Amino acid sequence: MNVEVKILNEMTAQEWCRLAEERIKVFVVEQECPYQEIDEQDYQAHHLMLKNDQGDLVGYTRMLAKDDAHATFGRVLVLKQFRGHKYGRQLVQATIGETKRLFPDKVIQIQAQAYLKEFYASFGFKPISDVYLEDNIPHLDMVLD
């Protein structure tokens, strides 16, 4: 697997459209959640693409500074045809590493979908909030210990 990290103005139009297409498939269509998927954070985010040896997009996340003390990542997805092969673990591990590299003095804090609490805990994340609804989906805040 290969990891590429780019900001928006480093991407080709085709790369950005491909990412937007996959994000909408997962977060709007699959999760039946009509909300503003592409937003102002995309302009400042670092976009991580996990690609296989053939150059096919396998997974994606976006990373950004949350505030003076915290960095975050989100929009974590593995394309449907690549699910069930533990690429999500590789994706999150790469994302943690890149987030630490990009924001070395910041604590990583995420908004995780509640059903993924144990998955993120396996990387060292600890819950710091109760479960709440974000876009009608149960979430909780977690911080990397």
- Which amino acid, one-letter code, is at 104? P
Domain that holds residue 97: 2-144
pLDDT band at 109; cut points 50, 70, 90: very high
CB-CB neighbours of 17 under 10 Å: 11
Q: pLDDT per residue over 81-96, tens digit each?
A: 999 999 999 999 999 9
pLDDT per residue over 58-77, tens digit each?
A: 999 999 999 999 999 999 99
Domain of residue 80, CATH code: 3.40.630.30
Q: How far is CA 112 from the centre of its chain?
A: 10
Amino acid identity of residue 90, one-letter, is Q
Q: What percent of the chain has pLDDT over 90?
A: 87
39 close to 2: Cβ distance less than 8 angstroms:
no
**Count of structural domains within the chain:** 1
Token code pair at residue 83: 């699910």
Task: Please give the model's pTM, rounded to 2 decimal places.
Answer: 0.93
Of the pLDDT bands very low, low, confident and very high (cuts 50, 70, 90), residue 126 is: very high
